[in-house]
């Protein structure tokens, strides 16, 4: 098991290893120290996520307020933010422990649902906050204000509020732009809007976005498509930049453009079709 191999590697370098409590149970209670997230946040100098991007997103949300640096080892499929290949973890991790790495901060969002003046839900997101319809219902109508200024009403399947990190996730599949991680922006991307003139827009990342549910059945809000809240008509979903950022460590020589080339197949030439004979 990769996680146990990594733990053994770290202990051989005299590094104390804390294993998140649920993970500790899932892997059979090995001879390691279990710890809850708060303990890891307070005591750890480095957090390692072994899994896919979803694992990394969950860890980032949990540990962001403690500013623990994060390393992602890809045991999933795409691996945009878990950028160390599983068969290269020992060399990459060893170099990082020796101080050879690239670091970057990633913007995070905080979303709140306010109902009749009372906050009923709050969540962090590293990728995006999505307000959408239920899969069993028709379009929803949303009214959007930015810093208290009316922006628009739109009918659509939903609206994505994405960070630069999230611009290559769900927002990209809805034809949103790719934002470089250092861009101080938040992108709003409508999902299948009724009016084709409703296009994505990039806003400064210091704005407050208020999305009100005007009409629609079974609406919901999601943070990173992992944490959900059912919504009611009249609810306000308030999205702002979080007061802290996710701090990622990458192998030395890391390039965001190389990641885009590899994950989005920018390096492949288009296949030219030939007319039938």
The residues annotated as belonging to the active site are: 53
Q: Helix (H, G, I), strand (E, B), or coil: what is residue 7? A: helix
Q: In the block, which residue shows the tokens 């003046």?
A: 117
Q: What are phi and psi of 75, to 5 degrees?
A: -120, 20
Q: Helix (H, G, I), strand (E, B), or coil: what is residue 261? A: helix
Residues 133, 169: contact at Cβ < 8 Å?
no
Q: Say which DSSP state 30 is in.
A: -
Among candidate residues 56, 221, 230, the one with its CA nearest the CA of residue 123: 221
Q: Which two tokens stand for residue 213?
A: 């549910």
Q: In the block, which residue shows the tokens 């990594």?
A: 6
């Amino acid at each position: 098991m990769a996680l146990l191999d990594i733990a053994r590697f770290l202990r051989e370098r005299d590094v104390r290893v804390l294993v998140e409590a649920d993970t500790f149970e899932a892997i059979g209670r090995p001879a390691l120290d279990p710890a809850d997230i708060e303990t890891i946040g307070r005591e750890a100098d480095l957090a390692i996520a072994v899994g896919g991007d979803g694992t990394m997103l969950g860890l980032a949300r949990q540990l962001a307020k403690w500013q623990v640096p994060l390393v992602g080892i890809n045991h999933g499929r795409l691996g945009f933010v878990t950028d160390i290949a599983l068969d290269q973890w020992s060399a990459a991790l060893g170099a990082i422990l020796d101080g050879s790495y690239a670091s970057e901060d990633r913007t995070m969002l905080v979303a709140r649902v306010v109902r009749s003046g009372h906050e009923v839900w709050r969540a962090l997101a590293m990728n995006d906050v999505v307000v959408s319809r239920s899969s069993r219902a028709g379009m929803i109508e949303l009214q959007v204000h930015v810093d208290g200024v009316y922006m628009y009403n739109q009918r659509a399947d939903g609206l994505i509020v994405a960070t630069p990190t999230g611009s290559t996730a769900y927002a990209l599949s809805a034809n949103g732009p790719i934002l470089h991680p250092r861009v101080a922006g938040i992108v709003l991307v409508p999902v299948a809007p009724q009016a084709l003139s409703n296009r994505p827009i990039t806003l400064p990342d210091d704005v407050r976005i208020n999305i009100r549910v005007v009409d629609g059945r079974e609406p919901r809000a999601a943070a990173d498509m992992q944490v959900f809240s059912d919504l009611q008509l009249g609810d306000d979903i308030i999205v702002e930049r979080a007061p802290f950022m996710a701090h990622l460590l990458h192998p030395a020589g890391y390039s965001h453009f190389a990641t885009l080339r590899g994950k989005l197949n920018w390096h492949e030439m288009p296949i030219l079709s030939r007319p039938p004979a």
